[in-house]
Amino acid sequence: MKFASLPQLSDAHYRRPLLHTPFFEASRPWIQTDSFIAWTGYSTPGVYSTTEHEYFAIRNSCALFDLTPMVKYRVSGPDAERYLNRVVTGDMRKLAVDKVVYTLWCDDAGHVIDDGTVFRLGPQEFRLCSQERQLEWLQDSAFGFDVEIAEITADIAALAVQGPTAFTVLRAIGLEGLEQLKPMAMVHQDWQGHRVTVSRTGFTGDLGYEVWIAPEGAALLWNSLMEAGRNRGITPIGYEALDMARIEAGFILPDVDFISCKHTIRLGRESTPWELNLAWTVALDKGHFNGRRALLAAQATGPRRKLVGLELDGNKAAHGSLVYADKDNTLQAGEITSAMWSPTLKRNIAIARLDAPYCDTKGSLWVDLYLHRELQWERRNVRCKIVERPFYIPARRRATPPPER
Amino acid sequence: MTRRFDAIVIGAGHNGLACALDLARAGRKVLVLEAREQVGGAAVTRSFAPGFSVSGCAHLLHALPQSMVQDFGLQRHGLLLAAQAMPTHALRPDGPALALHAPSGLNAADAQAYGPFQKRMQGFGALVAHLLNTSPPQLSLTRWGERWAMLRLALRLRLMGKSAMRELLRIGGMNVYDLLDDNLADAPLKGALAFDACLGGEYGPRSPGTVLTWLYRLAGEQGAGSSGLSQVLGGMGAFSDALGLACTAQGVHIRTGMAVQNILTREDKACGVRLADGQEIEAAIVVSGTGLKHTLLDLLGAPQLDTGTVRRVRHFRARGLVAKLHLGLSALPVFTGADAAALRGRLLISPSMDYLEQAFNPSKYREIPEHPALEISIPTLNDPGLAPEGKHVLSALVQFVPYDLGPDPQAARAKLLQNIFSVLEKHAPGLGALVEHCELLTPSDIEREFGLAGGHWHQGALSFDQFFINRPLPLYQQYQSPLPGLWMCGAACHPGGSVMGLAGRHAARAILESRSAP
C-alpha cells in the first residue's frame, strides 16, 4: 500500500475553510438568491433563482449542476480491481473499461457505509465517487494490496448537464461521440485544449451527462455551455431542485433515506443492502468482500425493514411523517424518509422505511400528516400504498442515440 | 496424494501440542506442523555454548496446571521436576536476601499487614484463576450457555462477600505502585512484589492495569498447586518433549522442519495449508498456534478478512520488553546475602518500585535502562547436567529492554551488557571473572528465534483491553477466526501465555463443541 500525498492547499483555505468550486466565478452572474449550502467542504448554491424554475429545467429543457464537491478518489495499481472488489459489494471484474457502475460498501457487520459510483478508466485505474469522505476506510482497506488511493476531489471539476436538450447542447459546444454513448458509459476527448471526459450518468433519472475537466478549463466549459444552451433553456440549478428530481428517479441519499453505519449511534439503526432494497448491487458469488460473511448470515435471517416507494392520496408532501398499518394509527409500520408532490407525474410520492411485516403490504397504509395552514396546525390521516420505484423513467433516459431537441 | 486430516495444527509450541493432544484424545486425526527442527516453540532447551544448555525462553514453571500433567500423563512420558516449591528471594547488595514467603526485618506495621494482604490478593487471584480456566463467553449473550457462564462469573464475584467484592472492583484497574504503597512500607519488599506484576509486559509499576497483571500471575500460581514454582529436569525442552511424546502416543502426527507458507481456503473456508516447499496438505480445519498477526495477515492474508478486522489485528499490541541472558560460568557465583537454599530458587534484583519504574522508563523511548531489573536462576544447582562438571549456568530475565534498539543496535547491546554486569557485580562481586560464555537475546532476537511476535512472551500484551473477552480482539469469536474452519490456539488467545497450555486446551474444547466440529 502506498499513501498518496495530501492535496496542497494554500493558506487561503485557513482563512475561508469552505471552498468555492472552479465554476464559482463563471456561475456568479446567475446566482440570484445567494442561498448556499455546505457540501463536503465546498460552498455551493442550494438554489440560483427559484427551486421550481430550476426543477422544470431538468424535466423540460436543460439543467446545469456543479457537482465538483462530490468526493472523488483515484484507485490505481496492479491490485486495483482486486482491491475494489474487496471493498465494494458489486463485482468489479465485470466492469469494463470506460463503464460506470453504482455500488455500495459495507463494514464488517454487512452494514452500509455509503453508496457511490465506480468509473473504470483503465485496466488498473478506477475512480470512486461518494457522498461522504472515505479516505481512512479506503486506506485501511488497502493493507495487503498493491494499490494507491488518492483523494482527487479538488483536481477535477465536474458539471452535470441534465434534461431533454442536454445531448443537443453538449454537441453544440463541440463534444463528440455522444450519439452512441450508452447510459453508464463514458468517452474521452480533447476539447478546446483540455482533456474532457463525458459520462452518461447523473442523479436526475433523465437524459443526462456529467462532464469532467481539469479545474483550469472549468470557466471555459461553463461559459460555452451557457452560450450554446441559451436557446435550449439551459438553467443553472442548485441542490434543492436536484433533490426533487432524484426522489422522482427513486435514488436514495445516505443520512436521508438511510443512515451510514459510520454515523449511527443507536444499535440497529444501520442498514444492510437488502434493507435498502439494493440486493442487485451485491455480488455474493464474487469471493470475499467486506461484510460478506455477515451478509450471508443476514440473508438467512431476512431484513428487519425495507425502503419502499409510496404513493399518497392528496397533494401534500409527507416529509418525515409516520406510516401506520391501520387507519386508527395504532400500528406503526415505519416512517417516510423523502417526500414530494411530483409536478411532472402529478402524484404525491415518497420513499419510506417500513418494518419487515409491512414492507410487502398490498392494501392501504396510512400516513399521519400535519399541515401548517395560516398559523394553524391541521392533522390529516392520508391513505397511501406501496408502488414501484423509480417513480419516473422517461424513454429518453435510455434512448441511444438520444432524441435531438 | 495428500493425506486428509481432521485438523492441522500450525506450530508445535506447548499450546499447539496441548490443543492437538486434546483433539486426538477426542478421536480426531491431527497433524502438527512445526517450522523448527524441535518441538516446544518458546519452551525449549537451548545449547548456547559447548556443554552448556539452558531453558531458551521461560526458565521456570510457575503456572503449569496439575490437571494438564495428569490428563496428559506427562510424568509417564518423561516429565521430571528438578525442583519444586522453589523460594523467591529479593537480593540486597548490603544485607541478607529477603525471602518473599517469610520476609524478615520488616517494621512492625508491615509485619502485621503483609500476611493478611498477601492472603487477600491470593483470594482475588483465585477469582482470576477461575477466569483463566474458563473460555470467555461471547458478549452478545444470545446463547443460554453464554448467559449461564456470565452469571456464574458474577455469582463467584458476589460469593466473595460484599467487602471483598468492593475491594476487588476498587483495585482491579489500579496500578500496583499505588496499591503496594497503600498497604506496605518496606521498599525492597514492594520492589520485589511489583516485579512480578510487571514481568513480561510493557508496563512499569506505575502503569495502569498492573494490579490485573499481578493477579494474573497469582492466579497462575494457584493453578500450579503444590508444585509451586518449579524447574524441569533437562530444561524446559524436556517438558515439551514429554508433551510431544504424549501426543505421538495418542496418534498425533508431528512433523518438524516444515514451515507453513499459506493457509488454503475453498469457498470461504479453511481447507488446508501450503508448505514452504509447495506441498499442500488438506484438513477439515486448520488451527494456528502461532501469533495473531502472523496467522491472519501473513498466512491467511488481509484480503480474506474484513477491513475492520484487519484494523483491529494490526492494532493488537505485542511489544516484549524482556531480554534473556545466558551465562556459562566456571564456578558457582556468590550472591551477597543469599544462602544455598536461596541460590537454588529464584532471585530478584528489583530493590524498590522506583528502581523498577526507572528501569522501565527508558524503554518507552527505545533506550537501554541504566540499572535493569533481573530475575535470576542458576539451574545447574538443581540440574547439574546442564553444564560440564563443576561449572554452572546462570539464566536471567532482564527488564526492560526495547524491541527496537535504536539506530545503532550493536552499541545498544554492548551498553546493555555492560549495565547488566554492573548490576550483577554489585550483588555478586567477582561474577564477571567467572563468565566463560555469554548469550544475550533481546526481544527482537526472541522474535526471530522463537517466532514470538514483538518478542512478547504472551504473543501480545496482557492488559484490560486485550484480556478475557477482549482477547485477542473485542467482538471476536474467541479461538474461532473470522474465516470458517480456521481456529487459533496460541497465547494470543485467552488466557495468554506462561507455560500452562490453557489457551490450547480451551481452543480444543471450543473446536469440539462447535457445530462445525470435524
Task: Identify the residue whose cell numbers are 446463547.
Answer: B143
Q: Please answer yes or no on whether A82 and B303 come within 8 Å at the CB atom.
A: yes
B482 touches chain A (CB under 8 A): yes
Give A158-216 pLDDT, tens digit per residue: 999 999 999 999 999 999 999 999 999 999 999 999 999 999 999 999 999 999 999 99
Nine-digit cell at A84?
475494489
Q: Please answer yes or no on whether B303 and A293 come within 8 Å at the CB atom.
A: no
Tell me what percent of the residues of chain B surpass a pLDDT of 90: 74
**Lowest-confidence pick of A104-108, B207-211, B412-416, B466-470:** B466-470
Residue type present at position B129: A
Give A242-262 pLDDT, tens digit per residue: 999 999 999 999 999 999 999
The whole-number average pLDDT for the span B287-307 is: 95
Contacts of residue B256, defined as CB under 8 A and 6 or more positions apart, other chains included, come to B12, B34, B36, B37, B38, B39
B518 vs B284: CA distance, rounded Å: 6
Q: What residues are paired with B271 via a beta bridge?
A: none
Query: What is the ipTM, given to two decimal places?
Result: 0.90
| Mutation to test the B interface, candidates A81, A84, A86, A136, most B Cβ within 10 Å | A86
Per-residue pLDDT, B126:
87
- CATH number, residue A138: 3.30.70.1400
Q: Please answer yes or no on whether A293 and B268 come within 8 Å at the CB atom.
A: yes
B131 vs A275: CA distance, rounded Å: 40
The answer on A142 and A161 residing in a single domain is no
Q: Please answer yes or no on whether B314 and A108 come within 8 Å at the CB atom.
A: no
Among A214, A248, A282, which residue terminates a domain?
A: A248
Residue A232 in domain: yes
The answer on A123 and A113 residing in a single domain is yes
The answer on A101 and A25 residing in a single domain is no
Of B268, B297, B309, the CB nearest to A108: B309
The answer on A135 and A63 residing in a single domain is no
A66 vs A158: CA distance, rounded Å: 6
Nine-digit cell at A359?
414492507
CB < 8 Å to A292, chain B: 268
R_g (Cα) of chain B, nearest Å: 22
Residue A261 in domain: no
B311 touches chain A (CB under 8 A): yes
Indicate the CATH number for domain B5-43+64-80+233-317+452-513: 3.50.50.60
Give A134-150 pLDDT, tens digit per residue: 999 999 999 999 999 99
The answer on A308 and A290 residing in a single domain is no
Give A230 or B137, the one with higher predicted confidence.
A230
CB < 8 Å to B309, chain A: 108
A219 in Cβ contact with A22 (< 8 Å) = yes
Q: Please answer yes or no on whether B304 and A137 come within 8 Å at the CB atom.
A: no
Label residue B129 by pLDDT band (50, 70, 90): confident
Per-residue pLDDT, A15:
80
Asked if the model's pLDDT at residue B1 lies above 50, the reply is no
| Mutation to test the B interface, candidates A82, A85, A140, most B Cβ within 10 Å | A140
Residue A330 in domain: yes
Calculate the CA B509 to chain-centre distance. Answer: 21
B145 vs A66: CA distance, rounded Å: 58
CB < 8 Å to B308, chain A: 107-108, 290
Asked if the model's pLDDT at residue B138 lies above 70, the reply is no
Residue A107 in domain: yes
Count of domains forming chain A: 3
pTM beyond 0.95:
no
Instruction: Measure A292 CA to nearest chain B CA, in Å.
Output: 8
Instruction: Measure B442 CA to nearest chain A CA, in Å.
Output: 29
The answer on A238 and A160 residing in a single domain is yes
The answer on A235 and A163 residing in a single domain is yes
Residue A163 in domain: yes
- CATH number, residue A377: 2.40.30.110
The answer on A242 and A174 residing in a single domain is yes
Of B268, B302, B308, the CB nearest to A144: B302
Per-residue pLDDT, A7:
58
The answer on A176 and A122 residing in a single domain is no
Nearest-by-CA chain A residue for B296: A144
The answer on A101 and A33 residing in a single domain is no
Nearest-by-CA chain A residue for B304: A288
Give A98-117 pLDDT, tens digit per residue: 999 999 999 999 999 999 99
Q: What is the DSSP-derived secondary structure letter of residue A357? A: G
The whole-number average pLDDT for the span B125-140 is: 77
Residue A89 in domain: yes
Per-residue pLDDT, B4:
83
Expressed as residue numbers, the domain containing A298 is: 71-149+272-302
SS3 B495: coil
Q: How many CB pairs under 8 A join A and B?
A: 41
| Mutation to test the A interface, candidates B306, B313, B486, most A Cβ within 10 Å | B306
Residue A63 in domain: yes
Q: What is the DSSP-derived secondary structure letter of residue A331? A: S
Give A5-28 pLDDT, tens digit per residue: 555 666 777 788 899 999 999 999
The answer on A377 and A311 residing in a single domain is yes
- CATH number, residue A241: 3.30.1360.120
B118 in Cβ contact with B217 (< 8 Å) = no
Nearest-by-CA chain A residue for B476: A108
Instruction: Measure B307 CA to nearest chain A CA, in Å.
Output: 5
Q: Where are the domains of chain B?
A: 5-43+64-80+233-317+452-513, 114-226
What is the longest distance spanned by two Cα atoms in chain A? 66
Residue A396 in domain: no
The answer on A196 and A137 residing in a single domain is no
